[in-house]
Amino acid sequence: MKMFDNFRVLLIGANGQVGKSFIKIAKKHGFKLLAISRDEWDLTITKNYSDFEKILINFNPDVLINAAAYTNVDRAEIDQDEAYAVNYISVEKMAEFSAAMSTPFIHISTDYVFDGEKNQPYTEDDRCNPLNIYGKSKFLGDQAVIKKNPRHIIIRTSWVFSEYGKNFPKTIINAIKSNQNLSVISDQVGGPTSAICISKAIIEFLRKICIGESIEWGIYNFSGYPNVSWYEFALEVESIAKRVNDNVKISIDKISSSESNFSKTSRPKNTTLDNSKITQTIMVKPCQWKKELKDLIERKLI
């Protein structure tokens, strides 16, 4: 009998990078998993919140996980109502409804709640000061979780990549395939994080909840190591791709944020995260993203 047999998990955001990665891992652990996609619950439509409440009541999960998010940083500046609906208002409803059922709530957040002005990695206690609508909407979502459901785990992560959806390594791989030279920003630094690593961290929280082990509710940073710039991240993708295919011949140049025409949306320069809390209290080590990236590229999953 598996540890998680009959342990009921309700996952929101089944089609996202973290959602799909979690589903892939969860199958190995014997959860009774109900995964909800946008087709089944559109978070942007307020009248649908009652539908979610019915799902929650009928399934009666042991844990609710929210991996859904509006993550298009540039588009959020235009589609502000949609960004706030997904990242804030719907999250507030999830927290409120789950609290009413005494259900623990695990919510995935972001490094973009910070302004990037700190010269060291951010801790869970550092002041938030988001620079853009995406960051502001996620910050408000975090605050709603904290206010509405005391039994919460907020996992702040960064630069997520996986075999699914759109992400930075896939952009670089597509450029390599089309022999397209690139200019990549070198003065924004963070920790690339595999969605599989995030899913494994979630599993560890679930294990503790499942066996009734004492757990410290609150915010946890979880990101990849070592920290790099987007430019260094791109070079690592190129390096691995060259080992797989020696025909790779593109040029990747570095530029500053001010020189880039890629986006006019303000982004934090430093979003490195201090992982000490999750390492010490949950015994989850930072994601070794180079190893995860190598595996995905070698298996041609990105």
Q: What's the longest Cα–Cα distance across the chain?
A: 58
Separation of alpha carbons 113 and 128, rounded Å:
5
Q: Give the per-residue pLDDT at 247.
A: 74
Q: Is 134 a catalytic residue?
A: yes
pTM score, whole prediction: 0.95
* Strand-pair category, 189-190 with 228-229: antiparallel
pLDDT band at 3 (very low <50, low <70, confident <90, very high): low
Q: Give the per-residue pLDDT at 78.
A: 95
Of 11-20, 46-55, 74-83, 141-150, the least confident: 46-55
- Mean pLDDT for 120-132 is 97
State pLDDT tens for residues 22-74. 999 988 888 899 999 988 888 887 777 888 889 999 999 999 999 999 999 99
Which class for 13: exposed (0-12), middle (13-18), buried (19 or more C-beta within 10 A)?
A: buried
Q: Among the options 70, 84, 88, 134, which is catalytic?
A: 134
State pLDDT tens for residues 202-245. 999 999 999 999 999 999 999 999 999 999 999 999 999 988 87
Radius of gyration of the chain (CA): 19
> Over 50: is that where the pLDDT of 1 sits?
no
User: Which residues, 6+ apart, have CB-to-CB distance to 256 below 8 Å?
Assistant: 185, 186, 187
- Annotate 5-42 with three-state secondary structure: CCCEEEEECCCCHHHHHHHHHHCCCCCEEEEECCCCCC
> Mean pLDDT score of the chain, rounded to an integer?
93
Q: Give the per-residue pLDDT at 150.
A: 97
- Local structure of 124: helix, strand or coil: coil
Query: Among 3.40.50.720, 3.90.45.10, 3.30.565.10, 3.40.250.10, what is the CATH number of 8-167+192-224+273-287?
Result: 3.40.50.720
Q: Could you give the count of Cα atoms lying within 13 Å of 66 in the half-sphere of its Cβ?
A: 36
